[in-house]
Structure 1
Amino acid sequence: MGWPVLASALAIFAASYALIFSGYVHRALAALVGAVTMIVAGSALGFYPYHAAVASIDMDTLWLLFGMMAIVGLLRETGFFQYIAIRAAKIARGNLTILFLSLGAATAIASMFLDNVTTLLTVVPVTISVTEVLGIPAGPLLLMEAMASNIGGTATLIGDPPNILIGSAAGLSFNAFLTHTLPVALVVFAAAMAFLLARFRRLATPHAADVEAVMAMDERRALTHPQAMGKLVAVLGLVFALFASHSALGLTPGVVALVGAALCALIVRPNVEAFLHGVEWDLLIFLASLLVLTGGLEASGALAVVGRWTVSLAGGSTLLLALILLWVGAGLSWVLSAIPTTVTLAAVVRGLAGTGIPLTPLWWALALGIGLGANGTPLGSAANMVLISIADRTHQGVKARAWFRDGIPVALLSCLIASAFLWLGIATGWFL
């Protein structure tokens, strides 16, 4: 491709990202405008015809997100997640250290199997209610929950959209994430909780004043449709079993999620509005548009140039290249957020095919860097922004200064741990 094509694609890409983060229009609409502009320019200049733009959309990723959103949306309406959060608070019995750790563990575990945005949408309101009863500030707990959700989401294929994108682009299975990113996430979670608990040690008094009020909360009252909840939990268990065996069955993760959503529709028989209510359509539009936008940049040859420059910078070393991707992914997620960073850097990694560099460790580096680095700033992930929005509406805001003060050290500590695992994994062949 010539320089006019490269310049046009880069200009459209840069302008689109500027519009996305300007706040002038919703980010999904801004990305859609950028995608349409890229298609028009690509067709006119001959480097990105319409059929190539359609092919750039990873439908399995979109089906996976759609299916899981539909299932979790129905489950959320039954009060299941509120039930779990209240149980976690009661297990603590007023001990704020136990409350801190139990809410963190519950959030991280839920985010391993559910979209982390959905996890926070359900956990945060209950956490705020519990802190109001106890008479303690909610901010430190909410910040911890956002970080726990990002760490937990890094552990599995379906935990957050970046992993879904990476898994689809690299052909990595559900079980592959369990054996590679889960061990890293467990160590990072322990380190992050230790750091945050030390930072918030003023909360760790022996017992809170209103223990009786917490213990008097009836978690069963949170369950609005217990029979439907039981059926949905059973379907979710089946979906997880299918995720664990989807490669042997010849099914893609997207098809597994659709099977689960279809079973929910047959067993629970919700109306159409209830079934579609939990689907975040703006996220699906945003993601599809970003894929088209980045596909145009890839078709122009710009990302191949970036890839060759990166390989040259690493001197052909797989470890150094993986470390560069891990830290660049983490840094970009602080500014651009996780999904745009993943879409862009995934295209760069794809462009390295045929260079002789093994791609598998690079995909793991990308997943770890973006997933764990997202804790650094409020813009790091969609979950971070959702938490801030909910907290602001309830007058329990999380201050940006507090996030930078604690989020950046957690992100740096997490990436250092991930770098050590990456070195060990490449040296032993575990990550190859």
Structure 2
Amino acid sequence: MSVFSSIEGLLRNAAGWTAIAVFLATYAFIAVGKLPGYHLDRAGAALLGACLMVWLGVMTLDEAIAAIDFDTIALLLGMMIVVANLRLSGFFHWVNDWVVQRARHPLALLATIVVLSGVLSAFLVNDTICVVMTPLVLELTLRLRRNPVPYLLAVALASNVGSVATITGNPQNMIVGSLSRMSYGDFAMALAPVALIGLGLTVLLLAVFYRQEFLTREPFAPSPARPARYLPPVILKSLIVLVAMVLLFLFGQPVSKVAILGGAFLLFTRRIKAYKVYREIDWPLLVMFAGLFVVVAAFERVAVTPGVIAAVARQHLDHVGVLTLLTAGLSNLVSNVPAVLMLKPFVVSLPDPERAWRVVAMASTLAGNFTLVGSVANLIVAQRAQSAGVPIGFWVYFRVGAPLTVLTLLFGVFWV
């Protein structure tokens, strides 16, 4: 019996170390984003990691499915459908035209772009706002013969800062909301002031670093806009649904249920074919989330023992500054969503987990502004600008993003 027990123990340890290796490899791939000679993307890496955990016997298939937080998946999918309807209806083009008619000076235009990007990101997910705002800002600034770089930086920076305000602002906040069971209103009350101060700092820093662009007091020369196609009934319907969803969020209704029902209701239409909405949805992101939930759950099972949790707890994670630094550093190392999932077992064991979750949400989001590769939102803006012949390099972004990150994190630590 002792021989068989020893063999069984060795096999269990081997499976555990293999599971840890799979976890580390998955996170390393997500951090780097590619493997030379292969076309595997982050979503595929997360899915492969999850499947290996099941194949290695760390989890059964039923346990892997149970590990997926479908509340987060439903919330993200519902918000994507809402944004898709707004985009296909021409709502964002309409907003762009409204901006052109009123913001007639460079500084006013910058402030308007920052406010729009930040506010829209707070309710409609920052990555999707960068997708729709970047081409509009590019077209607008080139048409007005302005330097597009500071305005594009405004989209990226403000979308990250603004998204810190609510649970629906970005994917990591959605995970925090689901794991912490924090109400939408409590989350917003705690972190919306951080977002507001951050948006003000975004305008200030961009105006300082690009003062030659904003010193002029001359109004923009009139420039006709390209005709855009609007669907007013769809715009109105989408905005009504969005407002109703936010009100239900604030009244304490489950955000995932409200979001997916709102999205499903918007699919009931005669004006936009459903397949056009489906093309707007970031399916790989949903796959990556599902895979990461399984990979992290398997890692917790084999590696996050009570002893490990106690050892981490002795590092003073209950101190806001320490947890902020750890979260920010981890977010820049492996990206914000994986960082939040990795911190889960340690946060839930802290004396005040709700406050700790707010810190994690704040730090993981604001840390995305530190470098160009700090968040997907930044990369979306940079890639779309590059395709239009407007390069935004690492150092161009860093000289504004780094000080903004430090300042906003300092205020966040003070406020939270």
Displacement after TM superposition at 1:201 (Å): 1.0
Q: Distance in 1 between matches of 2:182 and 2:124?
A: 18
1:207-356 pair list within 5 angstroms: 207=217, 210-213=220-223, 216-217=224-225, 221-245=227-251, 247=252, 251-268=253-270, 270-302=272-304, 304-314=306-316, 318=318, 320=319, 322-350=320-348, 352=349
How far 1:196 moved relative to its partner?
2.1
Deviation of the 1:323 alpha carbon: 2.4
- In the alignment, residue 10 of structure 1 is paired with which amino acid? I
Contact 1:373 1:414 in 2 (8 A): no
> In the alignment, does 2:192 pair up with 1:182?
yes
* Per-residue deviation, residues 56-98 of structure 1 (Å, max 9, x unmatched): 10001000111111121011011101211232233111x1111
- The answer to which of 262-271 and 76-85 deviates more is 262-271
**Normalising by structure 2, what TM-score?**
0.91
Give the direction of change, closer, same or farther, for the CA distance of 1:105–1:411 in structure 2 (3 Å limit).
Answer: same
Match of 1:87 in 2: 98
Contact 2:94 2:230 in 1 (8 A): no
Give the Cα–Cα distance (whole angstroms) in 1 for the partners of residues 115 and 194 of structure 2: 15
Which of 72, 75, 85 aligns to 1:64? It is 75
Q: Counterparts of 1:105-116 in structure 2 under 5 Å?
A: 105-116=115-126
Counterpart contact for 2:93–2:228, Cα < 8 Å: yes
Equivalent residues of 1:89, 1:102 under 8 A apart: no
Count of residues in correspondence between the two structures: 401
The answer to whether the aligner puts 1:407 opposite 2:413 as a matched pair is: no
CA contact (8 A) 1:166 1:363 kept: yes
Q: Deviations over 1:4-33 (max 9, x none)?
A: 454223211111122332512111111111
- Structure 1, unmatched stretches of 5+, are 423-432
Q: Which amino acid in structure 2 is aligned with residue 153 of structure 1?
A: S
What is the CA-CA distance between 1:207 and the residue it aligns to? 4.1
Residues 363 and 303 of structure 1: is their aligned pair in 2 closer, same or farther, counting only changes over 3 Å?
A: farther
Deviations 1:230-271 (A, max 9, x none): 1221111111121112x2xxx421110121112212245633
The answer for the alignment partner of 1:130 in structure 2 is 140
Structure 2 distance, partners of 1:198, 1:268, is 49
Provide the secondary structure at the position in 2 that maps to 1:313.
coil
Q: Is the 2:113–2:155 contact (alpha carbons within 8 Å) kept by the matching residues of 1?
A: yes
Aligned to 2:109: 99
2:360 maps to 1:366 = yes
2:63 alignment partner in structure 1: 52
- Asked if the contact 1:228/1:268 (under 8 Å) is kept, the reply is no
Indicate the residue corresponding to 1:77 in structure 2.
Answer: 88
Equivalent in 365, 376, 379 of residue 382 of structure 1? 376
SS at match of 1:377: coil
Matching residue's letter, 2:115? A
1:265-293 deviation digits (Å, cap 9, x = unpaired):
22456333123122110000011101111
Distance 1:236 1:325 in 2: 34
Maintained 8 Å contact 1:85/1:106? no
Question: Any conservation in 2 of the 1:92–1:98 contact (CA below 8 Å)?
Answer: yes
Structure 2 equivalent of residue 142 of structure 1: 152
**What residue number does 1:426 align with?**
none
In structure 2, how many angstroms separate the alpha carbons of the residues matched to 1:205 and 1:323? Answer: 37
Which of these residues, 53, 66, 81, is aligned with residue 38 of structure 1?
A: 53
Structure 2: which 5+ runs fail to align? 1-8
Asked if 1 retains the 8 angstrom alpha-carbon contact of 2:304 and 2:345, the reply is: no
Q: In the aligned structure 2, how far is the partner of 1:67 from the partner of 1:267?
A: 16
Q: Is the 8 A contact 2:121 2:163 kept in 1?
A: yes
- In the other structure, the counterpart of 2:5 is none
**Residue 303 of structure 1, CA deviation:** 6.5
Give 1:209 shift: 7.3
Distance 1:310 1:197 in 2: 42
Cα distance between partner residues in 2 of 1:188 and 1:134: 27
CA RMSD of aligned residues (A): 2.0
Residue among 381, 393, 407 paired with 2:387: 393
Query: 1:304 & 1:370 partners in 2: Cα distance?
Result: 25
Partners of 1:362 and 1:307 in 2: CA distance: 15
SS at match of 1:212: coil
**Residue in 1 that maps onto 2:42:** 27
Q: Does the aligned pair in 1 maintain the 2:80–2:281 contact within 8 Å?
A: yes
Give deviations 1:155-197, integer Å, cap 9, x for gaps.
0010100000000000011111111011121122222321222
Instruction: Find runs of 4+ consecutive structure 1 residues off by over 6 angstroms.
Output: none
Separation of aligned partners in 2, 1:334 and 1:398: 19
User: 1 CA distance for matches of 2:331 and 2:206?
Assistant: 21
